[in-house]
Amino acid sequence: MTGMKQLRSQSWFARQDKNGFYYRSWLKNRGLPQDQFDGRPVIGICNTWSELTPCNTHFKTIADHVRWGVLEAGGFPLEFPVMSLGETMLRPTAMLYRNLASMEVEESIRANPLDGVVLLMGCDKTTPALLMGAASVDVPTIGISGGPMLRGVYKGSYIGSGTNTISMSEQLRSGEITLSEYHEAESCMHRSQGHCMTMGTASTMACLVEALGMGMPGNAAIPAVDARRNLLSRLAGRRIVEMVKQDVVLSKIITREALENAVRVNAGIGGSTNAVIHLIALARRLGIKMDLDDWDNLGRGIPCLLNIMPSGKFLMEDFFEAGGLPAIIRELGARDFLHKDALTVNGQTIWDNNKDAPCWNRDVIHEFDTPFKPVGGIAVLKGNLAPDGAVLKPSAASPALMKHTGRAVVFESIEDLRARINDDALDIDEHCVMVLKNCGPKGYPGMAEVGNLPLPPKLLQRGITDMVRISDARMSGTAYGTVVLHCAPEAAAGGPLALVRNGDLISLDVEARTLTLEVADEELDRRRAEWRAPTAKSNRGYVKLYVDHVNQANDGADFDFLVGGSGSGVPRDNF
């Protein structure tokens, strides 16, 4: 293997001493021949398979295809598990553990004899956790998303992950459907392996993996159970060996330009608000400056091109059959909303990969001049209620509420909300602004996806389907509504959200990008002096570490001590 940079794995395997014996001999216990240690690239297959993460249960198969690709290219594959984050199971919220998983990924890669790594990612938080961890090591890396589930279909109509969970739950609460219909829909919605098949956070992040250049072309939308997902995995296995030989480390792919491409693609697909937090955190692992203003500025002028739930009516399988993300990237590139020279993991630029991408269905993927919705992107709001910013997804909001002033109805916590929301005596009407406090990174802790507050049943029964809602929480990418999220600083950190009281007037003006608490400064100062931080949820263990070190949402909600990277240097001997 001449001409190649010294492989870090050779610090383990090329040694002809006691330590080399340890490193090789124990691996030989499953029948590996001596020639596996001859200087060929060692490729880690970082697997988030878990039965507790239903979206990732097919990852053993994907890992096998990556393994075969690595072997075909003359590499040495070694699969390893990392903490898996199942969005539906993990309490209090999978986001609490994103940073923990990223630490495990980072340290697992650096501490082992790995020259390159393939990341297997699917359910929401597994993608940012693995990307962030790998970024802080910076070896050659390819991301493979698990792919979306097949369409959900119930009584002849599409039902999408999360999106219809929310709408059908409200229908059950208002008496429109029965409990047995509700149970039947559970089986109809999720009928194959894969992740949520709406444009939720998992699909959004899979798109951004491809937009960043970190995934092979087609990564975003091939269904989990389509044989072409296996083919992509096998080709990725072959390619990562080449990337090691060419020393194409992750930081050559994820550049400022690549991140800007991802932000613009997120606008074009009407992607999840969660992507804002994850991409800012990822950028900062690489020392790249990115903030909320970048999200607002870069996404301006880009319409939503994709008719998919929660903003539209189709599902990821339709997106794939219509041409997938390449067709979106082509639309953006044709309008110069793309850094065309950004390098991707297959060795080509993003424009080379996508400039001739076809589209087979313009009902699903719209052209730039006839978009699905005129405004994509993320609106970043600022004002005395969110001095460090808050976000709103215009494509999922009601146009009639984009400029609105209303009376605040305040819930001090998620428990307070659940205790009172179904009470017919609650003093609320459709013009009010619902405010939820103490659900931010420190407050929940973990910043749960509770920002799309359920509407009071008495308003649902009157046919009200949306109201302005404001919180320091996140929202599932599968959710919708005129929902202001990620208010920073959060209430539990003493942000102005903590000072809102029932009856205050709040003004939202999305066009002007403002969010204003219409209360005099002197009164707010008085309330601030009275404010007391909520009692700590835990005084030990990981939750304490989290609360003590988590950054605010506008900084990516990473741990303060994880920002940046420590590189891929080989640690000192263990013997």
- Contact residues toward ligand FES (CB under 6 A) are 55, 87-88, 123-124, 161, 195-196, 200, 202
CB of 536 to ligand FES, least distance (A): 29
CB of 476 to ligand FES, least distance (A): 8
**DSSP assignment of 427-473:** ---TTSEEEE-S-STTTTTS--S--SPPPPHHHHTTT----EEEESS
CB of 238 to ligand FES, least distance (A): 28
CB of 200 to ligand FES, least distance (A): 5
β 483-484/153-154 pair status: unpaired
Using the minimum distance from each CB to ligand FES, give the nearer residue, 396 or 562.
396
CB of 361 to ligand FES, least distance (A): 24
For residues 81 and 259, give the distance between their C-alpha atoms in angstroms, rounded to a whole number. 27
Using the minimum distance from each CB to ligand FES, give the nearer residue, 124 or 294.
124
CB of 165 to ligand FES, least distance (A): 10
Burial of 39 (0-12, 13-18, 19+ CB in 10 A): middle
Under 8 Å between Cβ of 49 and 218: no
Total residues belonging to the chain: 575
CB of 95 to ligand FES, least distance (A): 13
CB of 532 to ligand FES, least distance (A): 36
Using the minimum distance from each CB to ligand FES, give the nearer residue, 123 or 220.
123
Residue 277's contacts (CB-CB under 8 Å, 6 or more residues apart) are 474, 486, 553, 556, 557
CB of 125 to ligand FES, least distance (A): 9
Pick from 186, 176, 178, 243: nearest CA to 214: 243
Q: Which amino acid is at 108?
A: S
Instruction: Give all strands of the β-sheet with 76-81 in edge-to-edge order.
Output: 76-81, 42-47, 116-121, 141-145
For residues 285 and 305, give the distance between their C-alpha atoms in angstroms, rounded to a whole number. 30
CB of 48 to ligand FES, least distance (A): 11
Beta-bridged to residue 125, according to DSSP, are: none
CB of 116 to ligand FES, least distance (A): 26
Phi-psi region of 563 (alpha: psi -120 to 50; beta: other; left: phi over 0): beta
Pick from 453, 455, 458: nearest CA to 425: 458
Q: Considering only CA atoms, give the Rg of the chain.
A: 24
Q: What is the 3-state secondary structure (H, E, C) of 325-393?
A: HHHHHHHHHHCCCCCCCCECCCCCEHHHHHCCCCCCCCCCECCCCCCCECCCCCEEEEECCEEEEEEEC
Using the minimum distance from each CB to ligand FES, give the nearer residue, 198 or 307.
198
Using the minimum distance from each CB to ligand FES, give the nearer residue, 449 or 490.
449
CB of 452 to ligand FES, least distance (A): 15
Using the minimum distance from each CB to ligand FES, give the nearer residue, 110 or 195.
195
Distance from chain centroid for Cα 386: 23
For residues 253 and 248, give the distance between their C-alpha atoms in angstroms, rounded to a whole number. 8
Under 8 Å between Cβ of 95 and 474: yes
Distance from chain centroid for Cα 549: 21
Structure tokens at 178: 């029965």
CB of 124 to ligand FES, least distance (A): 5
Using the minimum distance from each CB to ligand FES, give the nearer residue, 85 or 488.
85
For residues 335 and 356, give the distance between their C-alpha atoms in angstroms, rounded to a whole number. 14
Using the minimum distance from each CB to ligand FES, give the nearer residue, 50 or 136.
50
**DSSP assignment of 253-270:** HS-HHHHHHHHHHHHHHT
Using the minimum distance from each CB to ligand FES, give the nearer residue, 141 or 201.
201
Using the minimum distance from each CB to ligand FES, give the nearer residue, 124 or 318.
124
Residue 75's contacts (CB-CB under 8 Å, 6 or more residues apart) are 40, 41, 42, 43, 116, 237, 240, 241, 244
Pick from 147, 97, 151: nearest CA to 125: 97
Using the minimum distance from each CB to ligand FES, give the nearer residue, 206 or 428.
206
